[in-house]
């Protein structure tokens, strides 16, 4: 079924395939245009302030309700998948598109012994590293942010079997369809037995939306 939609400039496309041809080209030119497409995306975020309001596009007021909703969902998943988590089970999470560490600091580090952050925008990651330094936040003993990877999703391959949870929120739309699939195939290798993905994303109410 074809679903029409608009890109962020308001240009209409009859389906997603037409939109991607416009954005990243046909087979012969695709790699060069795709590289440029990703570069422009990073360039945009490099001009954004490293703050909650900045990473949330001026909607910093949604931070609290977002964290509350995510925490309720995460508690349900952890009690179901890791019922013995409080009995010295060492849990590790990967925060994808972590930005300034908003989700890690306000949620993940309270439930996981280690959290790795994956973010391609260097000044966001620098802010996360500072915010998550032990002297700058309150977290349970033996809970910490461990690794800070300044790598885009499409280029990241995790350590095999490291993670109990791979958390992907409000960033996956920055990947092309092919790279979306490839990312999850690679990231799956990073899960421990019984581990799982959490994918939280905004969706269009009707039609489709593209990102330029």
Query: Sheet of 191-200: strands edge to edge?
Result: 144-149, 114-118, 92-96, 163-169, 191-200
Is 102 annotated in a binding site? The answer is yes
Contact (Cβ atoms closer than 8 angstroms) between residue 183 and residue 175: yes
Is 205 labelled as part of a ligand binding site?
A: no
Label residue 53 left, alpha or beta by phi (over 0 means left) and psi (-120 to 50 means alpha): alpha
The answer to whether 95 and 108 have CB atoms below 8 angstroms apart is yes
State how far Cα 90 lies from the chain centre. 22
Determine whether the annotation assigns residue 169 to a binding site.
yes
* Eight-state DSSP code of residue 85: T
**C-alpha pair distances (Å), 207 with each of 19, 46, 204, 210:** 13, 30, 7, 10
Binding-site residue set for S-adenosyl-L-methionine: 97, 102, 153-154, 169
Binding-site residue set: 97, 102, 153-154, 169
């Amino acid at each position: 079924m074809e679903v029409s939609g608009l890109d962020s400039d308001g240009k209409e496309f009859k389906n997603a395939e037409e939109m991607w041809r416009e954005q990243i080209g046909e087979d012969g030119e695709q790699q060069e245009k795709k590289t440029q497409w990703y570069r422009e995306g990073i360039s945009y975020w490099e001009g954004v302030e490293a703050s909650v309001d900045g990473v949330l596009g001026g909607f910093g007021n949604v931070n609290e309700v977002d964290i509350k909703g995510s925490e309720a969902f995460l508690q349900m998943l952890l009690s179901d998948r890791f019922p013995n988590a409080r009995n010295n089970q060492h849990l590790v999470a990967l925060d994808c598109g972590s930005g300034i560490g908003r989700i890690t600091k306000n949620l993940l580090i309270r439930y996981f012994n280690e959290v790795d952050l994956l973010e391609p925008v260097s000044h966001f990651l620098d802010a996360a590293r500072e915010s998550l330094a032990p002297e700058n936040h309150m977290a349970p003993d033996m809970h910490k942010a461990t690794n800070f990877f300044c790598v885009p999703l499409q280029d990241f391959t995790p350590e095999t079997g490291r993670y109990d949870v791979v958390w992907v929120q409000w960033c996956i739309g920055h990947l092309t369809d092919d790279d979306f699939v490839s990312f999850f195939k690679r990231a799956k290798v990073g899960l421990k037995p019984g581990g799982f993905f959490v994918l939280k994303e905004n969706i269009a109410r009707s039609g489709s939306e593209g990102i330029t």
